[in-house]
Every structure is written in structure tokens, then in C-alpha cells.
Structure 1
Amino acid sequence: MTQNAPDRILLVDDNPAFRAALADSFAIAGLEVELHEDGQSALASLSGTLPGVVVTDLRMPRLDGNDLFEAILARDRELPVILMTGHGDIAMAVAALKRGAFDFLAKPFMTDHLIASVRRALETRRLVVENRRLRQAALEAEQASPLLGQTPAMVQLRDMIQRIAHTDVNVLIEGETGTGKELIARLLHQGSPRRGRPFIRVDCAAVTEAMVDDTLFGTRLRRGQIAEAQRGTLFLDGAEAMSPLMQGRMLAIAENREMPSPAGGMVPVDVRIIAATKKPLAGGEGTTGFREDLLYHLETVRVSVPPLRARRGDIALLFNVFLEDAARRHGLASVPMDAAIETCLLTGEWPGNVRELRNYATQVALGLAAKRPALSSRLGLAEQMDAFEASVLTQALQNHGGDANAVAQALKLPRRSLYARLQRLNIQPAVFRASPSRKARDET
């Protein structure tokens, strides 16, 4: 697939004076333009980098604008084409609109009208290119790990999971609601030597004091959760909600590696304990009332999962994955991300984190975009600007493979200014550089 230059305009007209006048107007408007005198020359140019929009006259020698439009449709149906017509060609232009042309203007027209139409087309093309990039990035991310994200925080999190998964240490996972704590617990289990044994989840908030012993140790008629998890992983979800009795029972298991049997006596326990909590387990006299001695057993390794607001550069990628998944599950056509959705993604606070984002993607796929979350009322202008800036920089780094020099040139920034912005927003260019194995794969 060829790369796209979403800000470049391909202008095609056989009248030199008219072509030069339009080129001057585009230059004054700050738009980059490439000039061609006929459709055949323009079509040859399309064998390289695709432009952001094509503006073409209909009546031209050799290859006219209508034939050029048909050739562009065969190449990329989402490349915007604006037609310039004489009054006698309006019927032809309307027919082209029905086949997918972006717009047409009847000569003579005000240059401002053409500039406005071109700007709309460029924005449309930018969103098309961004959606394609996100789909490709989502495919690569899903193949690499179900824990999606390309920001430094998520790269570091995946690296940590990989380093500790094969060990047998207990792990405490901290993260707000909806951040994917259970997914991380399952990844730790799947990457461990215990992967062939059970992964047993215990909802600590649902275990009352009266249910603790039966739930953990079982009865004469039913095996307990710890027996079910033997030689596997015991996942304590919502550990902050454990009752004092349950904390005491888990402490005895963690310390002694044995438990009472319903038939009498003690039996050995061989489980790896992974606990997850929505709030810090203070221990001792902390506000959670959590036992400090049990905390020390659970937090051999502590894993902190960042909320979405701390990794805004991942939001569009995650949303695109969830949107495609929702469309597939409900048998619907894919919905492209538009400007309104993009604004919502950049400025929303997402207190429900990944779970809330997934729900929003489902609403969009079902045509319920009117129910999208309201823009943040607590996010200040500076924070909104930072979120937008981080998104632009992250996208540019992804497009240029982490090459900061290329990004500085593309964004027309001095290198010193670019590095200062990256440092302030905690964005590391190295994260976006292809690994040797991936680079070799891309070159084959």
C-alpha cells in the first residue's frame, strides 16, 4: 500500500492561466498543491504517493476529468475528488456525485468556495487515513498481545507482565474500575508454568463472613475454591472488600501453605495467588482496614495499571478495536470515526476507563452516538490542549516509526521544541521504533 500525503492537493486543468491563478489562491491559503495539465499526467502521478484531494476540470484533452475520476475510484474509492465544470457539464457532474465524487463547482465560481470545499475534503481524507492507520495498528497490537496500547505506560506494563508471568510469585494488581485487571491476571496465568491448570476467580465482595469457610475450603458435598485452584492460580478479585475473617483465612494459607479439609485434618495448598484491588490496600491503620501482614504476602510484586486519562494516546486505538468488534458481533457494517467522535475521545475523562470506552464503541456501532459521554466539565483548557497535543505527537511518531527528526520536519517544529514537548508529555520516541524482528518482517 502506498503512503498518503493527506495535506497535498492534486490540481488538474488544461488552462495554464486558470491553473496558475488557482495555484496562487491555494498557496495564499497555506495549502500544498501539485499541478497537472491533463488527466493522463495526473494519473501517472497517482502511481506514487496518493494526495489528500484531487481537484480536476471535466473537459480536458487526452484523458478528461470523468475518466480520471473513474480511474481514481478503481484505485481508492475514499480519495476525495472535486470536479470543476462548465454549465453544460452539470448533469455529468451530478452523475459523478452519485458515484462518489466529493463535490462539484460550476464555472465561474468564487475561489473561496473552492478553498472551503477543499478544506472539508482534506479533513474527510485525514479521518479516512487515521481510521486505516488505527485498523492496522489494532491488528498488529492484537497479534502481539490482547493488552492493547502503544504508549510508554502500556509498553512498560506488558514488559513487566512478560518478566513476572513465568515466575511463581504472588502478584497484587492495582487499578481503577474498568482498567483490565482480570485480563492482566489471566495473562499472568497463561504465561506461567501453571497455564494448564485451573484459573479460579473469587469475587471477594460476594463472600460474606458466613460464607468464607464454605467458599474457600468447601464442604463434604462441594469442593472449595482453593481445592479447585490446586496447582493453578487463585484470583482474588476486589481484594479490598475482603472481610476480616476472609483476610485471616487467606493469611494462614499464604503463610502455611495448607488448609483444613472438610473430612478433617490439614491438606497442602499449591496455588499462586493473584489479587486485584480498585484502591490501595493501606494495611495497618489504613482507611481500608486491610491486614498489613496479609498485604506483605500478596504484594511480592505490585503491578499498577494506568487509567485511560494517563495514556490518552491509546484511546483512539482501543476505540477502533472495540468499534470493529461491536460491528462484527452485531452483524453491522463498520462505522468510520468522524470528527465529533474524535473530539469526544480526546476530551472525555472516561472514569470507567476501558470498560466505559468499550460501551461507547458499542453505542456508536449501534447508531446511538447521541448517547456519547458529555465532554469533560472538569478538564481545563490546558489539559485539553495537552491531550490534543499528545494525540498529534503520538500519531506522528507512529507514522514515522519513532523518527523524531522526521516528526519535527513533518510538524514544522524545531527539534529542541519537539523534544521539550515530548519530555513534558512523557512520550518516548523509542517506543514507536520497530524492533529488529518486526523490521525484518516488514521488509519481507
Structure 2
Amino acid sequence: MTAISLWHAIGGDYRKRPPLTESVDADLAIIGGGFSGLSTAVHAAAKGLSVVLLEAEIIAWGATGRNAGFVVPNFAKKDPDDIIAELGTERGERLIRFASSSADLVFDLIRRHRIECQAEQSGWIQPAHSAVAFDKVKSRAAQWASRGRPVVVMDRAETESVTGAKGYPGSWTDRSGGVLDPVAYARGLADAAEAAGARIFERSPVTAISRTGGGYSLTTATGIVRAGKVFIATNAYGGDLQPGLSRTYFPLRVFQIATEPLPREVRKRLLRGNQSVSDTRRNLFTFRFDVENRLISGGMHVFGPGAETRVPRTIHRRLAAMLELDDIPPIAYAWSGMAAVEPDFLPHLVDLGPGLIAGFACNGRGIALTTALGREIADWASVTPADDLPIPYAPPREIPFHGILKHAPNILLPWSMLRDRLDEERSA
């Protein structure tokens, strides 16, 4: 078992980019070499903008290289009706369209740039863990179907047949979702951005951002970037780069595991269509396979010592129980990463000053929504005012009592697990 992510471990030789060692000028400077930063670089360079991207480590080092590779074109906790009620019809429908097309954008970029990343637009499935949750799932599916999305509701028998998992009253699926190797996808985006003219520098952490004339100066240990506009695309890995920015979201540590490959005769009863699955539990249960038939799943952790070994073993036991795998293969890889979760579980753009913006679009939907975010930021960098983008845009709003509340997801996990169990018992 190793702490490096599966995707980095199997990634093979990697073409390293040099650190910044000079002073350069750009129309747009991007801080962060994850999905949102790389997608922005691809789309902005394609518009003819001069683009410089600075990554503190290497491409896909943060959450981008530490997720499970699910491509999910919707919101983690909000349905379309919720968004309309919160934002109004016009702005709400724009945000809904932004999300609904996000998986299609991912797979279109992969095809267009011929990115080899084990990508399959095979669908994403959300089983309901209780009868009440199934009612909500059916409503959710109807809301997306009314907007022309390729969604299907499945009953108990269909859900078991498709997923191989028993006990779910039903599920819904969005067929535009899918799976991929996130590190290979990110590296492919980096290659595409450079082919379009962007410059990418690794091992170049930004130590200061200062206002200079009509733009900004970004300082690293060995170089400077002067740019008219700056996009901070660090997600939960930005530290104190901008005062207060880290207190506008909850940092959530998520663990992932990948088993040794399953025997072929066992694998053929589980996810024969190679979809991805994440159910409706508060203590989310997820699973998918990679091309080598490794079983991949993730989860959160309750506070306590030894999380690096304790949590992967818990996830492994849960997989065995949920999928009835008496002889589940051992864990081959175990790793963790940090996600940024907004209080309202929606994407947000943070106004940090004229021409300076930060973006948080993840909330558990990193690959699809952050890729789509990059396209929108490229529009902002060229001609579109930030207020006209589909993502909510406002000055930073620090979460009250953030120092305490940032631990809430972990502290409340046992209570969430109990509520999940009570839901299931009521449905039995």
C-alpha cells in the first residue's frame, strides 16, 4: 500500500516543465495547475491571449490528481428547482446549463485534443439508499430531464442488474457522465494549452501578488509574471496567498483507495457498463473500476489518530460489505486530497479586485465543473464581465467562526452515518 495516488503511480514518464526563472508578461496569469487552471489556459490561449500558468508543485499535484476520476455533470447537494429558488429563473437556468453541459465539454476536449486518459462517457449512477431518498432521486431526474438531459430512472431490479449492488430501492443515471484517469487528463490539457501558445511553469509557488499599474505582478522565488488579469485556481491548496480567501470555504479531506485487480469472473457482475456510482448517503458510498479492474472507492474520516491507515481499511471493509465481496482483493493504493466545499454547495467566483478573481467550482464535482469553469474564465479574460458569467460572483465572504466550523464535516460524520442507517431501517 502506498500514499501516492493510483493515477500518479501508473502515470509513467512525465515531461516536466521548468520553474519560472525570468520576468515575463502575459494577458492572463493563472495560479494552479489543476483542472480549472489548465482548462482556462486551453480556452484562453485558443482565443489568442498570452497565458502564463504557475504551478507550485507539478501538474495535477493537488485535488486534481487525488480524486477518483468521476465525471459528474450536476451539483452535489442542489437540484435545479433549489437553484431557481435561490438565484431566480434567469441566473439559475444559466448556472444549470453551465453544469449540465460540463461532462460533454470534458469528453469533447478529450476527443478534440486526442488525450489518452482511459476516458469513457459511460454514465454516472446515483442509487437511493432509502425509499425517501428514491422519491427525491425521481424528482431530481425529472428536473434534469425537463432540461433535455439524457437521464433515466431505474427501479430496484434494474439498479441491481446494472450496478451489481443489492438493497437499493432505485436510482437515476445521467448518461453524459463517465470516468477517466484524472492525472492523464490533466497532463493532456497541459499539452493542449502549450500547443495553443500558453506557457506553463512548475515548481513555481507564488509568494506575493501586488497591484502594478493596470494589472498585477506575481512574484516567485526566481521570477516575476506581469499580467493584466489573474485567475487563482488553487481550490483548497491556496493557503494564505490572498488574505481571508481560505476562510470562504470548508476544507474537506477525502480518502481514496484502489484494490488489486478483481478476478474477471467477479468483475463481470459489477458495473458491466463501466459507469461510476455515488449514492445518496450523507456518508457517501462510491465505486468504479479502472481499465485494470482495480476497484476504486472513497470516503471521509472521523477525527482521531492514524487516519492514513484507519480510513482506507474502513473504506475497504465497506466495499466488501456493500458489494458482497467475500474475497475482496487487498488495497494496492491509498491516498487523500483536499476538496473545497462552499456553504451553499454551489460554484463561486470570488472578486478580489479589478482583474483578480478566484474560482471554486468543486463541492465534490471537480472534473466536470472545474473544466467548465475554465471555459468561462477564459471568456472573462477576453471580453465578458464577471457579472455576466453563469457562476455566482461576489467579494469574499468569510464564514463566521471558520476556525471551528471548518471541522464540522468530520465532527458530524458519526451523526450522518446514524441518520443514513435510520433511513435504511425505515425503508426495510
TM-score by length of 2: 0.21
Q: RCO (CA 8 Å, sep 6+): is it higher in 1 or 2?
A: 2
More helix by share: 1
